[in-house]
Structure 1
């Protein structure tokens, strides 16, 4: 079903790097979400009124909020797809995150309302009636929501949309809440035990949790996220793959929407190479990054001495010291001033963010002492910094 909808309603569906194609995917997901959620809202509200179940009616209004969320998502996707203009040279992609945050606010508001209603139902229980048709319709609703979750997850991964992935997670949460409502009816029908208020309370908690997760996932790129390790490796490897580039560091990525990013990186080039030659290499890398990766890349050249035997010896010595201290440490901008028995090694040391101020001072002292123990003629001038790369999953 998913592929059928995509092939018939998304023109050029394979070209997911294009903004207009991403917009079409977003519109399709929004329309499908609106249709399915309005259908479920009507069916569940009818059942809830028929059997006088607050948990079923709570779940119905949860679906109504999902339909409203899809409408807001539709508007957000349309606005986010607007091209760049004089006032917004990087486009309008971040509107997609803003619209998703509004959706999160609505979901949380519905959750609080359901919580209040459920508490009242616990304190003042009302009689229920049981009908098998109600359970059947709720089970069908679970199937629809499960498909809707898979649908949004598949499209979200295809176009790298956090909003769609959040919607998929929300739909999977609805599977749980509808299952709870069906359980409430079954318990009443089989054992004549009314757990409607308690179940409604559980539904409201699930709705609040879903709203919190959507808010967290959509606020992160607006506030500014660390670079995912796979993205860091992709960009670094791309730049280092060109002849004349010896290494890279200080990669920073700014996100202006799911399909629009700007990055800056320091690329190490041989200090003995002609400046014009190195500059031409950098220009070519920037053009290729825009063409192949859709990335606006700005490269700063760092000259590196490669034919200084003493400097290379110190560089290898420092690598061994850092490996002994903490394998997560790295360095760059390594250079040497002075000569004979008065040598100063100057470099930037990249450390994990878990190091506190006191630990940083001790670390700097330890590295300096270890280097002097290996060679009494050298001292170190160390500038400590953190990487913009996410440390999640990095050993």
Structure 2
């Protein structure tokens, strides 16, 4: 298999370090002792879970106080990140288990399973957000919505900055660990940053007298989420099947 020529789930060239393949895993383990790996995994998970819980609560309060459906949708997306990080943590921990009689080739595929689960969570989140937004647009109920408050705008900006920072933080350690699950979790953070950009645009337009743009922003968030979910799921399935990239 020519790993150097394989494209990652986002269409970019991805080297073995970024792929988190089993060969890279073993090479990484030869450079990083087991305790160091565990410490990094715990640190990434703690930062991801704590950060997402705080951000979700802030966006939820901002969405309610600011009368913004887009920000509430964004809060749900951030809340899904908490479960995503938990799944990535469990997947990585299981993948690090040594080979045994029943699993002579090790447990590396648990990372693929974790990534697939992340994709499913993202897809379910996106569909739920999209259905509610489309219903508001079709029924015309957006006309009865109050203009979003300034706090919703502030929450969108805070989300963009913090989630992009969490993306780079998680990506850095995912490359060190050669972890596909944490690399997927990093892109999950970035998808949240993208969705917050959609929220910012929609909230700004709604405040300028175009209330329909708030649910439209939720639809944009839905599209971003579904795109990332499909890419993560496809990448996980390809790695589980050892698909050739020829």
TM bucket (normalised to shorter chain) is: 0.7 to 0.9
Per-residue deviation at 1:167?
Answer: 2.0
RMSD over equivalenced CA pairs, Å: 2.0
Partner of 1:221: 239
User: Could you tell me whether the CA contact under 8 Å between 1:100 and 1:163 is conserved in 2?
Assistant: yes
Per-residue deviation at 1:212?
Answer: 0.8
1:75-133 Cα distance to aligned partner (Å, 9 max, x none): 22222222222211222221121112111111101111011011012122141233223
Where do 1:198-213 residues align within 5 Å?
Answer: 198-213=216-231
Distance 1:70 1:203 in 2: 20
In structure 2, relative to structure 1, the CA distance for the partners of 1:15 and 1:32 (3 Å cut) is farther
1:341-367 Cα distance to aligned partner (Å, 9 max, x none): xxxxxxxxxxxxxxxxxxxxxxxxxxx
- Report SS of the residue matched to 2:210: coil
1:232-256 Cα distance to aligned partner (Å, 9 max, x none): xxxxxxxxxxxxxxxxxxxxxxxxx
Where do 1:252-263 residues align within 5 Å?
Answer: none
Larger Rg: 1
Partner of 1:82: 97
Q: Does 1:103 align with 2:121?
A: no
Partner of 1:193: 210
User: Could you tell me whether the CA contact under 8 Å between 1:84 and 1:91 is conserved in 2?
Assistant: yes
Partner of 1:270: none
Partner of 1:150: 168
**Higher strand share goes to which structure?**
1
Q: TM-score scaled by structure 2?
A: 0.80
- Matched residues, number: 215
- Report SS of the residue matched to 2:120: helix
Partner of 1:136: 154
Distance 1:40 1:163 in 2: 22
User: Could you tell me whether the CA contact under 8 Å between 2:109 and 2:240 is conserved in 1?
Assistant: yes
User: Could you tell me whether the CA contact under 8 Å between 1:65 and 1:107 is conserved in 2?
Assistant: yes
User: Could you tell me whether the CA contact under 8 Å between 1:16 and 1:159 is conserved in 2?
Assistant: no
Report which structure shows greater RCO (CA 8 Å, sep ≥6).
2
In structure 2, relative to structure 1, the CA distance for the partners of 1:46 and 1:16 (3 Å cut) is farther
Partner of 2:58: 43
Per-residue deviation at 1:19?
Answer: 4.9
Task: Structure 2 unaligned segments of length 5 or more: list them.
Answer: 1-27
Per-residue deviation at 1:18?
Answer: 4.3
1:298-357 Cα distance to aligned partner (Å, 9 max, x none): xxxxxxxxxxxxxxxxxxxxxxxxxxxxxxxxxxxxxxxxxxxxxxxxxxxxxxxxxxxx
1:47-87 Cα distance to aligned partner (Å, 9 max, x none): 11112222111111011111111111122222222222221
User: Could you tell me whether the CA contact under 8 Å between 1:114 and 1:200 is conserved in 2?
Assistant: yes
Distance 1:18 1:215 in 2: 30
User: Could you tell me whether the CA contact under 8 Å between 2:116 and 2:232 is conserved in 1?
Assistant: yes
User: Could you tell me whether the CA contact under 8 Å between 2:45 and 2:86 is conserved in 1?
Assistant: yes
Q: TM-score scaled by structure 1?
A: 0.51
Where do 1:369-388 residues align within 5 Å?
Answer: none
Partner of 1:170: 188
Distance 1:93 1:166 in 2: 15
Partner of 1:62: 77
1:156-195 Cα distance to aligned partner (Å, 9 max, x none): 2222222222222222221111011122221222x22111
- Report SS of the residue matched to 1:48: helix
User: Could you tell me whether the CA contact under 8 Å between 2:126 and 2:225 is conserved in 1?
Assistant: yes
**Higher helix share goes to which structure?**
2
- Report SS of the residue matched to 2:148: coil
Partner of 2:42: 27
